[in-house]
Amino acid sequence: MMPRQSENRYTLAVLALLLAASAVSVLLVVVRMRHTESVQYDFLLWNLLLAWIPLGIAALVSVLSRKRGPAAYIALAVAVVPWLLFFPNAPYILTDFQHLTSTPVIVPTWYDVILLIWFAWTGLLLGVTALYFMQSVVTRILGVVAGWVFALLAIALAGLGVFMGRFLGWNSWDIMHRPGTMISEIWSRVSHPLDNPHMVGFTGMFALFFLFVYLTIYALGRLTYERGQRSAPPPE
């Protein structure tokens, strides 16, 4: 296990980098809006805010469940459903690249490309970090196998959630406003996958992409930690 002080230091560093990336992303949109006197990409600001929600929930649950016991189980049970509902908002920003084909050319194309890269990269990392925090909580409470089952399930549901948001117009809040209609439409599509090849193809490809990104970053983190352990001086 990584020493608590070192773990806290790296956690704060990751959060600081995510905040900095978010600030740069917002700045790029503000500059574009002032230069063009238009609000064509203002929706990115809302999408970025939504992408922070699953990380906020995961961070809170991680703090509340540091010690195993009834409080840890309660915190996880209460948080897991809203976390799963909002988790797709983080990787969802990746699909905003499609606006490049429908946005009038007001600024150089390279500026919009870089702007969308910043938002997509930030959203992707917010999703990876939020999933890592939640997987760590599940692993600490229920074990390693349960942690990976949860991670794989979350990634699969995220792919479906992004499809629902991008192509069906649903969002995380609709589960509170129109739960019956939302659940009915999801079930009608999921229960007949052969009739919805677009959904199956997009969900599978998107989930596979996110899985590869997550596993790569996870493996790099483990590799860095193990190299640090081997190079550390032996205890006296």
**How much is the pLDDT for 193?**
83
Summarised one tens digit per residue, pLDDT across range 97-155 is 888 877 666 788 899 999 999 999 999 999 999 999 999 999 999 999 999 999 999 99
Q: Is residue 130 part of a domain?
A: yes
DSSP-derived letter for residue 87 is T
Q: Is residue 50 part of a domain?
A: yes
Q: Is residue 143 part of a domain?
A: yes
Confidence of residue 178 (pLDDT cuts 50, 70, 90): confident
Residue 103's pLDDT is 67
Q: Which two tokens stand for residue 126?
A: 């917010």
Round to whole Å and give the CA distance between 11 and 14.
5
Please spell the DSSP secondary structure of 151-183, one letter per residue: HHHHHHHHHHHHHHHHHS---TTHHHHSHHHHH
Instruction: Report the C-alpha gap between 127 and 50 in whole angstroms.
Output: 11
Any domain includes 129: yes
Q: Which residue has the higher pLDDT, 4 or 219?
A: 219
pLDDT digits (tens, 9 = 90+) for 197-229: 999 999 999 999 999 999 999 999 878 767 766
Whether the pLDDT of residue 194 is over 50: the answer is yes
pLDDT at 89 over 50: yes
pLDDT at 4: 59
Is residue 67's pLDDT more than 90? no
Please state, in angstroms and rounded to a whole number, the distance separating the CA atoms of residues 117 and 225. Answer: 29
For residue 99, give every residue at least 6 positions away whose Cβ sits within 8 Å of its Cβ, in sequence order, or none: 41, 116
Q: Is residue 140 part of a domain?
A: yes
Q: What per-residue string of b and e applies to 183-221 under the rule 16 or more CB within 10 Å gives b?
A: eeebeebeeeeeebeebbebbeebbeebbebbeebeeee
As for how many domains the chain has, the answer is 1
In a domain, 224, yes or no: yes
| Residues 215, 128: Cα–Cα separation, whole Å | 9
User: Does the pLDDT at position 36 exceed 90?
Assistant: no
Domain-located, residue 236:
no
Q: What is the pLDDT of residue 137?
A: 93
What length does the chain have? 236
Q: Among 77-81, 93-97, 173-177, which is the least confidently predicted range? A: 173-177
User: Quick one: tokens of 128?
Assistant: 């990876």
pLDDT value, residue 1: 45
Percent of the chain surpassing pLDDT 90: 57
Q: Is residue 26 situated within a structural domain?
A: yes
Residue 68: pLDDT above 80?
no
Whether 235 has a pLDDT exceeding 60, the answer reads no
Residues 6 or more apart from 97 whose CB is under 8 A from it? 116, 120
Q: Which domain holds residue 186?
A: 4-231
Residue 234's pLDDT is: 55
User: The pTM is what?
Assistant: 0.88
